Structure 1
């Protein structure tokens, strides 16, 4: 199954866990990840560092 994985991020611990899953799943499938966040409220949060992932391509 090809496509794009869309994941919402807000800087919370559960959000970080979902982002980690999305990065691993995208690497397994060989598809890109798109992040969605809330920029309207003006809140800021640190972006977690993505682990290095080898996709085999």
Structure 2
């Protein structure tokens, strides 16, 4: 452990933090896109069901 310089440790911490932020950001974007898709799909199903009821 003595051969690891403080600079290398700081660089490793910074790199791991930055990668965690990047992965979290991408996961949040993916989650929002999924929720938008699900909302659109459910809205389309609701519209179809209402149209069927109106025709009945």
Band the TM-score falls in, shorter-chain normalisation: 0.3 to 0.5
Q: Which protein is richer in helix relative to its size?
A: 2
Larger RCO of the pair (alpha carbons < 8 Å, separation 6+): 1
- TM-score, normalised with respect to structure 1: 0.34
- TM-score, normalised with respect to structure 2: 0.34
Q: Which protein is richer in strand relative to its size?
A: 1
> Which has the greater radius of gyration?
2
